[in-house]
Amino acid sequence: MLLLLPVVSADFSASVVTIKEIIVPGESAIFDIQISNLGTTPARYTLSSEEFSYLLFIDSRPGEVAPGEIGTFRIEVNPRNFVNLGTHRVPITIRNTVTGVTSRINPIIFIRDPQTTLGEYVPSIALEATHPTSIDPREPIPVQVHLRNRNARSFTQEELSVRISSELFYDSYHTSLGPVGDSGEKATERLIRINPYQEPTQVQVTIEVLVQNRTVSSQQGFIEITSFSVVEQDSISGTTFFKEEKTYIIRNNGNINTTHRIELPVSRMKQLFFATNTPFTIEFINDQRTLVFSTELQPLEEQIIQLSFNYRLLVLLVLLGAGSIVGYFLLRSPLLLAKKAELSDSSDDASEIKVRLYIKNRSAQAIKNLRVIDRMNGLCEVVERNDLGTIKPTKVVHKKNQGTLLRWDLDVLEAFEERIITYSVRTPLALVGDIVLPNMKVKFDGNNGRERTTHSNEHVIKRLD
């Protein structure tokens, strides 16, 4: 029988009398808990244990304990099947139901291997392990293991091992341990690496001491895997034939989902030439129009954003415009022609029309061999005049279906020179309504020696009533 030192609280003290402390798996240890009432009033007491590893049975209990008297509890402690061999402390809480005061005692039990004979040293190794409660998965997890032999038996590397395990990692190593004393203690640090991109979670870590592959001591703890976010962004730029291209390569090297933004300042005009394969929004950042690309990235996910500013259409339109202008100046007629006419005299019997033909060389080169041809109605007769500056037609031809054709031949029209041909025609009928005069045409020799033709406008003479 063994009496443990008493535990004293404010109004009671308790001591443990050991009846049976050495057991094998499946047996129960037996203790008497003696409680002395130090108060001035009678009291009742309860026993309980918050340790899940043991079943606590109370065989007998005292009733009301008077002041100055002692009450005895007879208890049985039955370890559960998963409790390891070796020495264990069983925490038991004593509570005064009247005052609510509590105190704790820790009776000791020893679970031996049923296969060992009495007198042989049963492995008894104290384990103290420490590790951080939270860790960045990119860093190794340091685990310090301290072993202390509690009896005279020594252990070789072949029979003693330590195992560190969780759902994320596994590590083990062999070691030796001398008998109780200075050589019976050993401290080791293990650095355990896990997946550097492990998602944030909390894992339970179990450290076990094994002798000949049988667990003699163990300890459990928890490690929280923290979150981190690292986004890498690379870009490739290039310009080819009036087209700017840029590719962004974004990679989430963190262990949590993250959102990454790319901000691209751009003017409204420049946006007209913008194209991309990724949705974007337009925001005003620091009073500047900005294209914002917001991408959701899972751990280790990579996304590619391609964008371009294509000015080829603008350049093509400019080239077409310039080509049209150049072509216009190259292909346009060097002559400017205009035809004007007015009713100079009118009566009930006849009308006279005065016609002016304007011919101007707008080029910087002389034009040769010009044939000015105008056409009038067949009923009209050319009025011959000898006014100063009047050029007489070179030829007047009357055609039945085409009316009267008038032709003037000019040898040359110098650069930027202008000529005006004036003539009058008379019609034997009075004019009724508007009169449309057909356009004139001028034939001349082009720069390549081929004949070219230019036409003037038609002219309408409005009849004034």
CATH code at 161? 2.60.40.10
Range of the domain at 371: 335-461
Tokens describing residue 42: 């009678």
Specify if 103 maps to a domain.
yes
Specify if 116 maps to a domain.
no
Same domain, 212 and 245: no
Specify if 218 maps to a domain.
yes
Same domain, 215 and 262: no
pLDDT value, residue 138: 93
Same domain, 339 and 457: yes
Tokens describing residue 369: 């061999």
pLDDT digits 0-9 by tens, 126-168: 999 999 999 999 999 999 999 998 877 788 999 999 999 999 9
Same domain, 161 and 254: no
pLDDT digits 0-9 by tens, 211-222: 998 999 999 999
Same domain, 344 and 457: yes
Specify if 118 maps to a domain.
no
Question: Rounded CA gap, 270 and 313, in Å?
Answer: 13
DSSP state of 433: S
Same domain, 135 and 166: yes
pLDDT value, residue 5: 45
Specify if 120 maps to a domain.
no
Q: Which of 263, 278, 312 is the last residue of a domain?
A: 312
**What is the band of 348 on the pLDDT scale with cuts at 50, 70, 90?**
low
Question: Rounded CA gap, 392 and 374, in Å?
Answer: 13
pLDDT digits 0-9 by tens, 365-388: 899 999 999 888 766 778 877 765
**What is the band of 434 on the pLDDT scale with cuts at 50, 70, 90?**
confident
Same domain, 183 and 256: no
Measured CA to CA in angstroms, residue 90 lies from 20, 84, 100, 152 at distances of 14, 13, 22, 24
Q: Is-contact 58 71, C-beta < 8 A?
A: no
In 38-91, the DSSP E strands lie at 45-48, 54-60, 70-79, 86-89
The answer on pLDDT for 283 being more than 80 is: yes
> Which of 290, 306, 308, 322 lies closest to 242 in space, CA to CA?
308
398 burial (CB, 10 Å; 0-12 / 13-18 / 19+) is: exposed
Same domain, 350 and 424: yes
Specify if 328 maps to a domain.
no
Report the CATH number at residue 68.
2.60.40.1230
SS3 label, residue 329: helix
The answer on pLDDT for 2 being more than 60 is: no
Report the CATH number at residue 241.
2.60.40
pLDDT value, residue 293: 93
Number of folded domains that form the chain: 4
SS3 label, residue 183: helix
Specify if 325 maps to a domain.
no
Q: Is-contact 59 118, C-beta < 8 A?
A: no
Same domain, 155 and 89: no
Tokens describing residue 406: 């008038």
Same domain, 154 and 246: no
Question: Rounded CA gap, 275 and 296, in Å?
Answer: 21
350 burial (CB, 10 Å; 0-12 / 13-18 / 19+) is: middle
Measured CA to CA in angstroms, residue 367 lies from 390, 440, 446, 451 at distances of 21, 18, 8, 11
Tokens describing residue 350: 């006849």
Same domain, 154 and 52: no
Specify if 323 maps to a domain.
no
Same domain, 250 and 209: no
pLDDT digits 0-9 by tens, 87-109: 888 899 998 888 888 888 888 88
Report the CATH number at residue 422.
2.60.40.740
